Protein backbone atom coordinates (compact mmCIF):
# COMPACT_ATOMS: atom_id res chain seq x y z
CA UNK A 1 0.00 0.00 0.00
CA UNK A 2 1.28 3.46 -0.93
CA UNK A 3 0.94 6.42 1.40
CA UNK A 4 1.56 10.04 0.55
CA UNK A 5 1.59 13.43 2.25
CA UNK A 6 1.46 16.96 0.90
CA UNK A 7 3.36 19.54 2.90
CA UNK A 8 2.96 23.33 2.98
CA UNK A 9 4.47 25.24 0.09
CA UNK A 10 8.07 26.04 1.12
CA UNK A 11 9.91 29.30 0.63
CA UNK A 12 12.25 28.84 -2.31
CA UNK A 13 15.70 30.29 -2.79
CA UNK A 14 15.36 30.87 -6.54
CA UNK A 15 19.11 31.32 -6.99
CA UNK A 16 19.83 27.88 -5.49
CA UNK A 17 17.05 26.22 -7.50
CA UNK A 18 18.29 27.87 -10.69
CA UNK A 19 21.82 26.64 -10.03
CA UNK A 20 20.58 23.10 -9.39
CA UNK A 21 18.51 23.16 -12.55
CA UNK A 22 21.57 24.19 -14.57
CA UNK A 23 23.61 21.40 -12.97
CA UNK A 24 20.81 18.97 -13.87
CA UNK A 25 20.81 20.17 -17.50
CA UNK A 26 24.59 19.76 -17.69
CA UNK A 27 24.39 16.23 -16.26
CA UNK A 28 21.80 15.25 -18.86
CA UNK A 29 24.09 16.45 -21.62
CA UNK A 30 27.00 14.41 -20.26
CA UNK A 31 25.36 11.02 -19.58
CA UNK A 32 22.17 9.02 -19.71
CA UNK A 33 19.64 10.00 -17.09
CA UNK A 34 17.52 7.57 -15.10
CA UNK A 35 13.82 7.69 -14.42
CA UNK A 36 14.44 6.75 -10.78
CA UNK A 37 17.59 7.08 -8.68
CA UNK A 38 17.87 4.80 -5.66
CA UNK A 39 19.76 6.78 -3.02
CA UNK A 40 21.94 4.44 -0.98
CA UNK A 41 24.40 5.77 1.61
CA UNK A 42 26.54 2.93 2.97
CA UNK A 43 28.69 2.58 6.09
CA UNK A 44 29.98 -0.69 7.54
CA UNK A 45 26.98 -2.65 6.26
CA UNK A 46 28.74 -5.62 4.64
CA UNK A 47 26.50 -8.11 6.47
CA UNK A 48 23.34 -6.68 4.88
CA UNK A 49 24.33 -5.58 1.38
CA UNK A 50 23.78 -8.83 -0.52
CA UNK A 51 20.13 -8.98 0.58
CA UNK A 52 19.72 -5.26 -0.07
CA UNK A 53 21.11 -5.56 -3.61
CA UNK A 54 19.07 -8.69 -4.32
CA UNK A 55 15.91 -6.73 -3.60
CA UNK A 56 16.97 -3.86 -5.85
CA UNK A 57 18.17 -5.88 -8.83
CA UNK A 58 14.76 -7.64 -8.99
CA UNK A 59 12.73 -4.41 -9.18
CA UNK A 60 9.92 -4.92 -11.68
CA UNK A 61 10.07 -1.30 -12.87
CA UNK A 62 13.50 -1.81 -14.45
CA UNK A 63 13.53 -2.57 -18.17
CA UNK A 64 10.35 -2.14 -20.17
CA UNK A 65 8.83 0.21 -17.58
CA UNK A 66 11.82 2.50 -17.16
CA UNK A 67 15.44 2.97 -16.11
CA UNK A 68 16.74 2.73 -12.53
CA UNK A 69 20.01 4.17 -11.29
CA UNK A 70 21.74 2.95 -8.12
CA UNK A 71 23.58 5.89 -6.54
CA UNK A 72 25.87 4.82 -3.69
CA UNK A 73 27.98 6.98 -1.41
CA UNK A 74 30.42 5.03 0.78
CA UNK A 75 31.01 6.97 3.99
CA UNK A 76 34.45 5.72 5.11
CA UNK A 77 33.46 2.10 5.69
CA UNK A 78 36.12 0.03 7.43
CA UNK A 79 34.66 -3.40 6.68
CA UNK A 80 34.08 -5.09 3.29
CA UNK A 81 31.26 -2.74 2.23
CA UNK A 82 33.12 -1.07 -0.63
CA UNK A 83 34.34 -4.36 -2.10
CA UNK A 84 30.84 -5.84 -2.03
CA UNK A 85 29.50 -2.77 -3.84
CA UNK A 86 32.14 -3.16 -6.52
CA UNK A 87 31.38 -6.87 -6.87
CA UNK A 88 27.71 -6.12 -7.55
CA UNK A 89 28.33 -3.34 -10.06
CA UNK A 90 28.65 -5.56 -13.16
CA UNK A 91 25.51 -7.53 -12.27
CA UNK A 92 23.46 -4.35 -12.18
CA UNK A 93 25.03 -2.93 -15.33
CA UNK A 94 24.40 -6.18 -17.21
CA UNK A 95 20.70 -5.88 -16.34
CA UNK A 96 20.61 -2.35 -17.73
CA UNK A 97 20.78 -0.36 -14.51
CA UNK A 98 22.84 2.81 -14.21
CA UNK A 99 25.43 2.56 -11.44
CA UNK A 100 27.19 5.40 -9.59
CA UNK A 101 29.58 4.69 -6.72
CA UNK A 102 31.73 7.21 -4.89
CA UNK A 103 33.46 7.38 -1.52
CA UNK A 104 34.23 9.86 1.20
CA UNK A 105 37.98 10.35 0.89
CA UNK A 106 38.42 12.56 4.00
CA UNK A 107 38.96 9.64 6.37
CA UNK A 108 36.19 10.90 8.67
CA UNK A 109 32.64 9.56 8.67
CA UNK A 110 30.23 12.42 7.87
CA UNK A 111 26.97 10.72 8.91
CA UNK A 112 23.95 9.31 7.08
CA UNK A 113 22.24 12.63 6.30
CA UNK A 114 25.28 14.15 4.59
CA UNK A 115 26.09 10.87 2.86
CA UNK A 116 22.52 10.67 1.56
CA UNK A 117 22.77 14.19 0.17
CA UNK A 118 26.04 13.26 -1.56
CA UNK A 119 24.33 10.28 -3.20
CA UNK A 120 21.49 12.53 -4.38
CA UNK A 121 23.92 15.12 -5.76
CA UNK A 122 25.69 12.56 -7.96
CA UNK A 123 22.45 10.98 -9.20
CA UNK A 124 20.47 11.78 -12.36
CA UNK A 125 16.93 10.45 -11.88
CA UNK A 126 13.74 12.45 -12.23
CA UNK A 127 12.49 10.61 -9.14
CA UNK A 128 14.32 9.97 -5.87
CA UNK A 129 13.91 6.66 -4.01
CA UNK A 130 15.42 6.69 -0.50
CA UNK A 131 16.86 3.35 0.60
CA UNK A 132 18.85 2.18 3.63
CA UNK A 133 21.64 -0.34 3.26
CA UNK A 134 20.07 -2.80 5.73
CA UNK A 135 16.63 -2.77 4.08
CA UNK A 136 15.10 -5.04 1.45
CA UNK A 137 12.57 -3.57 -1.00
CA UNK A 138 9.59 -5.49 -2.36
CA UNK A 139 10.09 -6.16 -6.07
CA UNK A 140 7.17 -3.85 -6.98
CA UNK A 141 8.12 -1.01 -4.65
CA UNK A 142 9.45 1.39 -7.28
CA UNK A 143 6.77 0.47 -9.82
CA UNK A 144 3.95 1.24 -7.39
CA UNK A 145 5.54 4.36 -5.92
CA UNK A 146 6.26 5.97 -9.27
CA UNK A 147 2.62 5.41 -10.27
CA UNK A 148 1.57 7.36 -7.17
CA UNK A 149 4.22 10.04 -7.75
CA UNK A 150 3.01 10.67 -11.29
CA UNK A 151 -0.50 11.29 -9.98
CA UNK A 152 0.72 13.37 -7.00
CA UNK A 153 4.02 14.95 -8.15
CA UNK A 154 4.29 17.24 -5.13
CA UNK A 155 3.83 14.48 -2.56
CA UNK A 156 6.24 12.67 -0.26
CA UNK A 157 5.33 9.02 -0.72
CA UNK A 158 5.95 6.17 1.71
CA UNK A 159 4.87 2.58 2.32
CA UNK A 160 4.15 0.13 5.09
CA UNK A 161 7.00 -2.14 6.23
CA UNK A 162 7.75 -5.36 8.05
CA UNK A 163 10.59 -6.10 10.46
CA UNK A 164 13.09 -8.94 10.73
CA UNK A 165 13.03 -10.50 13.34
CA UNK A 166 9.24 -10.45 13.03
CA UNK A 167 8.43 -9.36 16.60
CA UNK A 168 11.07 -6.62 16.94
CA UNK A 169 9.57 -3.16 17.75
CA UNK A 170 6.17 -4.87 17.59
CA UNK A 171 4.22 -2.03 19.22
CA UNK A 172 5.66 0.57 16.84
CA UNK A 173 5.10 -1.66 13.80
CA UNK A 174 1.45 -2.20 14.70
CA UNK A 175 0.87 1.53 15.22
CA UNK A 176 2.63 2.59 12.04
CA UNK A 177 1.16 -0.05 9.73
CA UNK A 178 -2.42 0.62 10.93
CA UNK A 179 -2.40 4.39 10.29
CA UNK A 180 -5.33 5.71 8.27
CA UNK A 181 -4.92 8.52 5.70
CA UNK A 182 -6.28 11.03 8.25
CA UNK A 183 -3.91 9.78 10.94
CA UNK A 184 -0.93 10.29 8.64
CA UNK A 185 -1.59 14.01 9.04
CA UNK A 186 -2.94 14.15 12.58
CA UNK A 187 -0.30 11.97 14.26
CA UNK A 188 2.76 13.50 12.60
CA UNK A 189 3.23 15.59 15.77
CA UNK A 190 3.48 12.40 17.83
CA UNK A 191 5.88 10.50 15.57
CA UNK A 192 7.17 10.46 12.01
CA UNK A 193 4.29 8.91 10.07
CA UNK A 194 6.27 8.09 6.92
CA UNK A 195 9.42 6.09 7.67
CA UNK A 196 12.38 7.63 5.85
CA UNK A 197 13.73 4.49 4.11
CA UNK A 198 10.36 4.17 2.32
CA UNK A 199 10.39 7.74 0.96
CA UNK A 200 9.88 8.39 -2.75
CA UNK A 201 9.49 11.79 -4.43
CA UNK A 202 10.29 13.86 -7.48
CA UNK A 203 13.70 15.48 -7.60
CA UNK A 204 11.94 18.85 -7.65
CA UNK A 205 10.22 18.01 -4.37
CA UNK A 206 13.55 16.99 -2.84
CA UNK A 207 15.18 20.24 -3.99
CA UNK A 208 12.36 22.38 -2.61
CA UNK A 209 12.62 20.97 0.90
pLDDT tens, 90-118? 999 999 999 999 999 999 999 999 999 99
Which pLDDT score, from 0 to 100, does residue 173 have? Answer: 66
Which pLDDT score, from 0 to 100, does residue 179 have? Answer: 65
Contact between 56 and 50 under an 8 Å Cβ cutoff? The reply is: no
Task: Provide the percentage of residues in the chain whose pLDDT is more than 70.
Answer: 73
Which residues are CB-contacts of 98 (< 8 A; sequence separation ≥ 6)?
32, 34, 67, 68, 69, 70, 124
Selected residue with higher pLDDT from 134 and 4: 134
Beta-bridge mates of residue 8? none
- The whole model's pTM is what? 0.79
Cis peptide before 165 (omega within 30 of 0): yes
CA distance linking residue 163 with residue 168, whole number of Å = 7
Terminus-to-terminus CA distance in the chain, angstroms?
24
Count of C-beta atoms within a 10 Å radius of residue 194: 18
Selected residue with higher pLDDT from 194 and 39: 39
Contact between 62 and 68 under an 8 Å Cβ cutoff? The reply is: yes
CA distance linking residue 33 with residue 47, whole number of Å = 30
DSSP 66: B
Average pLDDT score over residue span 77-92: 97
Pair type for strands 98-103 and 200-202: unpaired
Which pLDDT score, from 0 to 100, does residue 158 have? Answer: 84
Which residues are CB-contacts of 12 (< 8 A; sequence separation ≥ 6)?
208
- Reply yes or no on whether the pLDDT at 33 is more than 70: yes
Phi, psi of 10 (to 5 degrees): -80, 160
Q: Is 131 exposed, middle or buried (0-12, 13-18, 19+ CB in 10 A)?
A: buried
- Reply yes or no on whether the pLDDT at 140 is more than 90: yes
Average pLDDT score over residue span 6-16: 44
Contact between 71 and 119 under an 8 Å Cβ cutoff? The reply is: yes
Which pLDDT score, from 0 to 100, does residue 160 have? Answer: 67
Amino acid sequence: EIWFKHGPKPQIDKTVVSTRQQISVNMKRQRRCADVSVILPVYNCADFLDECFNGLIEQSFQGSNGLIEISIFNDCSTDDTLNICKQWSNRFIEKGFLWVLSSNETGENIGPGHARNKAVAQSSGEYICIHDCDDISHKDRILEQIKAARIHPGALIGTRFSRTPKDSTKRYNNWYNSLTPDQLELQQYRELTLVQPTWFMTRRTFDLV
